[in-house]
A = this chain, B = another copy of it.
């Protein structure tokens, strides 16, 4: 449901791997664990993927890709930095509730630890798009003139921390309940007066 792929053996393997990677961690999950949980054979797994790392890479690329696509649709659907950024936070909150495992895999895993050569998540496409939205907002005068990095971290940092808290089980209710309050704080921190 959270993965872009169609029904197939391959997608079953991916779904199972995502589940195990998030609840037990990448390194604590063996290929045999995936085999058992998905009820397929080792040979089948190695037929579809070069190895364990390739499974993680396919998951990562797929999830980051759909996330970037969502960001682009948001950017196209709204006209101001305020509306765009608010829609991004709303989207991230909903995504966290709907697909906590996907969110956890993207945000919480240290990909550089098991995906050699991968750039840090904060340099990935979705995060770059968020930075661009903020930079555009500074251009138009909606957002105070300041270092773009600082503006972006101030605007999205609180929301991202809320997501971490939620994934860690440190937040009781669903995230969208806090959308209004978090967004007002976030926007207040950078809005031009």
Number of this chain's copies in the assembly equals: 2
Which residues of B sit under 8 angstroms from A24, Cβ to Cβ? 113
Which residues of B sit under 8 angstroms from A169, Cβ to Cβ? 120
Does A156 sit at the interface, judged by CB under 8 A? Answer: yes
Given that A27-B113, A170-B122, A185-B190 are contacting pairs, would A153 and B161 also be in contact in the complex, using a CB cutoff of 8 Å? yes
Does A189 sit at the interface, judged by CB under 8 A? Answer: yes
Given that A27-B113, A110-B108, A157-B160 are contacting pairs, would A123 and B185 also be in contact in the complex, using a CB cutoff of 8 Å? no
Which residues of chain A (100-141) have a CB below 8 Å from chain B? 108-110, 112-114, 120, 122-123
Nearest Cβ on chain B to A116's Cβ, whole angstroms: 10
Are B168 and A122 neighbours in the complex by a CB distance under 8 Å? yes
> How many residues does chain A have at the interface if contact means C-beta atoms less than 8 Å apart?
42
Measured CB to CB, the nearest residue on chain B to A190 is B185
Measured CB to CB, the nearest residue on chain B to A182 is B150
Nearest Cβ on chain B to A92's Cβ, whole angstroms: 13
User: Contact residues of A with B, CB < 8 Å?
Assistant: 24-28, 108-110, 112-114, 120, 122-123, 146-147, 149-151, 153-154, 156-162, 164-165, 168-171, 178, 181-182, 185-186, 188-190
Which 8 residue pairs across A and B have the least CB separation, nearest first? A25-B113, A157-B158, A157-B157, A189-B189, A27-B27, A120-B168, A157-B161, A154-B185
**25 interchain pairs (CB within 8 A)?**
A24-B113, A25-B113, A26-B27, A27-B113, A28-B113, A120-B168, A122-B165, A122-B170, A123-B170, A146-B185, A147-B178, A149-B171, A149-B178, A150-B181, A153-B161, A154-B158, A154-B182, A154-B185, A154-B186, A157-B157, A157-B161, A161-B161, A186-B189, A188-B189, A189-B189
